[in-house]
């Protein structure tokens, strides 16, 4: 055992404590950094204010077992706590995924209704009559819609009134318009 650091402690054959206030416990444990602790055979503590239970360069790693649940900000967290947190994060991501899926479906539904309304309006515009009824269908991204509308011409066709609606599985759109010509 070799202890050269001020207020250092070394326990175990070939234990070395060179850092100020360092502690080396175990065969060939080495604490070279200030305020460091090396626990167990061949452990190396070479960073200040750390506790080492192995030596990564030599491939020596150990587990800390029977760790209580953390209760303060600077406590170590055990795997059980981490798994609980990961489960909550996973649940939040699943919730966000569902919301995006719902939004995608609504966007597709609106696109289908827009297409149905456009085809309904175009069909009514091509009919030369005072009263015009038209229907249209549309589809986008697996969502389908149906639109119906009515147009009425006034003043020898110089004024047109249009009313209509589009319907998908969960959404409805209605509208009205008027056009003038002179």
Q: What are 66-94's pLDDT values in tens digits?
A: 989 999 988 889 999 999 999 999 999 99
* CATH 3.30.1300.30 in the chain, residue ranges: 109-180
- Tell which CATH architecture fits domain 1-62: 2 Solenoid (2.150)
Burial of 74 (0-12, 13-18, 19+ CB in 10 A): exposed
- The class (CATH top level) of 109-180 is alpha beta
For residue 155, is pLDDT > 90?
Answer: no
pLDDT for 134: 92
Euclidean distance between CA atoms 81 and 99, whole angstroms: 27
Q: What is the mean pLDDT of the chain?
A: 93
For residue 136, is pLDDT > 90?
Answer: yes
pLDDT for 39: 97
Q: How confident is the model at residue 157 (pLDDT cuts 50, 70, 90)?
A: confident
* CATH 2.150.10.10 in the chain, residue ranges: 1-62
């Amino acid at each position: 055992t070799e202890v050269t650091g001020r207020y250092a402690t070394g326990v175990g054959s070939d234990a070395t404590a060179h850092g100020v206030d360092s502690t080396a416990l175990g065969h060939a444990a080495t604490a070279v950094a200030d305020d460091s602790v090396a626990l167990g055979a061949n452990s190396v503590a070479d960073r200040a204010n750390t506790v080492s239970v192995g030596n990564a360069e030599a491939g020596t790693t150990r587990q800390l077992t029977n760790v209580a649940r953390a209760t303060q900000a600077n406590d170590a967290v055990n795997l059980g706590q981490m798994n609980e947190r990961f489960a909550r994060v996973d649940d939040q991501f699943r919730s966000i995924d569902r919301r995006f899926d719902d939004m995608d479906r609504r966007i597709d539904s609106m696109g289908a209704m827009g297409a149905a309304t456009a085809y309904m309006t175009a069909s009514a515009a091509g009919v030369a009559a005072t009263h015009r009824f038209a229907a249209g269908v549309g589809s986008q991204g697996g969502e389908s819609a149906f639109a119906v509308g009515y147009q009425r011409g006034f003043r020898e066709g110089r004024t047109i009134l249009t009313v209509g609606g589009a319907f998908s599985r969960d959404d409805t759109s209605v509208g009205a318009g008027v056009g003038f010509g002179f």
